[in-house]
Amino acid sequence: MRILAFDTTAERLSVALLDGERLRLRAAKPASDQDEQLPKEAGKLLKSAALALKDVDAFAAATGPGRFTGIRVGLTFAGMLGPSLGKPAIGVSWLEAAAWRASPEPGLVVAVVRGWKDEWFFQLFERGETPRPAGEPSWAGVPELGEAVRKALAGRAARLVGPGARAALEQLPGFLAEAESRGLDASDLLAPAKHRLETHGDPSLAPLYIKPPHYERK
């Protein structure tokens, strides 16, 4: 199975290719013109694998949370490629990707991703062989993060996972957090996308806009 995944939600665009068991990744220099960068970087990655777009079985794009414009760039690209080539196009959120990258130890986890400034995004998942959502995606500022997570857990035990987990401990003392060596990139979209393809799961490309587009903390 060959899956091409891309992330345009952050300052630095990344593109990943799953080709059977082999994974390839490209990360572009930070730039504002990711709508122009994306086709070029995808083409370079495919060329390195001696493949063309028609050889890809499915496409995956990050749905957010992230920059509103960036989310639209990635989803639009996937939305054009999929139908034009007759291939599935799948949207994966960073919260889902973080839960997939966590240890498969059974139990409740809170996927945590940092936003801009003092904003945090989180979602509950039941972790095991494959993660299952146990709550809706949410967001909170630093002062409210601890209260919001505890309210969502309703007294249940959970561990914090994702690239924001260790930093969130300041607001959530007493919790256990998994250490992560790097942030999320396009390669982290591949496992959940592959699982959905194999299980005929939701192929939706709907963007994940958790907060209003012009929200400002008062």
Buried b (16+ CB within 10 A) or exposed e, 174-204: ebebbebeeebbbbbbbbbbbbbbeeeeeee
The tens digit of pLDDT for each residue in 163-208 reads 999 999 999 999 999 988 788 999 999 999 999 999 987 778 889 9
Give the per-residue pLDDT at 214. 55
Give the per-residue pLDDT at 215. 54
The tens digit of pLDDT for each residue in 51-105 reads 999 999 999 999 999 888 889 999 999 999 999 999 999 999 999 999 999 999 9
Mean pLDDT for 45-49 is: 97
Q: Of 90, 97, 113, which Cα lies nearest the Cα of 3? A: 90
Give the per-residue pLDDT at 212. 59
Extract the tokens encoding 211: 């907060």
User: Looking at the domain covering 95-177, what would its CATH class be?
Assistant: alpha beta
Distances (CA, A) of 115 to 49, 58, 66, 74, 179: 34, 28, 7, 18, 18
Domain assignments of the chain as residue spans, ordered by start: 2-93+184-199, 95-177
User: In this structure, are residues 72 and 41 in contact, taking their beta carbons and an 8 Å threshold?
Assistant: no
Give the per-residue pLDDT at 216. 52
Give the per-residue pLDDT at 180. 87
Specify the residue for token string 């130890």.
105
The tens digit of pLDDT for each residue in 137-156 reads 999 988 899 999 999 999 99
Percent share of the chain, pLDDT over 70: 96
Indicate the fold that domain 2-93+184-199 takes in CATH: Nucleotidyltransferase; domain 5 (3.30.420)
Give the per-residue pLDDT at 74. 93
- Judged against a pLDDT cut of 90, whether residue 117 lies above it is answered with no
Distances (CA, A) of 182 to 9, 98, 132, 164: 16, 11, 23, 10
pLDDT band at 33 (very low <50, low <70, confident <90, very high): confident
